[in-house]
Amino acid sequence: MASRRIEVRLSPEQYEQLQMRARKLGIPMAEQIRRALDGYMAKDQAGLDWRKDPIWTMVGKISAPGENDDSERIDQILYGLEG
């Protein structure tokens, strides 16, 4: 894998935590940063994919106006209360 060297500035707390984790897990600090960045970028990319937006789970679950009276029966539906 071709790589590039960059400079990253960390706070003293970040550096200490990274160093302690490196000792504990036996993973170099640079590798931890690469893995964290990969995870961050994957999450960011997933957020850009409109097909993964949770709103799409609602498609087809809402009736057209006039098809039912759910809006009029909301208390009954949510709380089991009779009108």
Q: What is the pLDDT of residues 37-67, one digit of tens each?
A: 998 888 777 666 767 777 777 776 666 666 6
Contacts of 65 (CB under 8 A, 6+ apart): none
Residue given tokens 């009276």 in the structure block: 69
pLDDT at residue 36, as a whole number: 93
Q: For the chain, give every domain's residue range.
A: 12-79
What distance in Å separates the CA atoms of residue 50 and residue 71, rounded to the nearest whole number? 29
List, for residues 3-25, the tens digit of each pLDDT value: 899 999 999 999 999 999 999 99
Whole-angstrom CA distances from 64 to 28, 56, 59, 72, 77 are 57, 17, 12, 14, 18
Q: Where are the alpha helices (DSSP H) in the chain?
A: 12-25, 29-48, 74-79
Q: How confident is the model at residue 1 (pLDDT cuts 50, 70, 90)?
A: low
- The reported pTM is 0.52
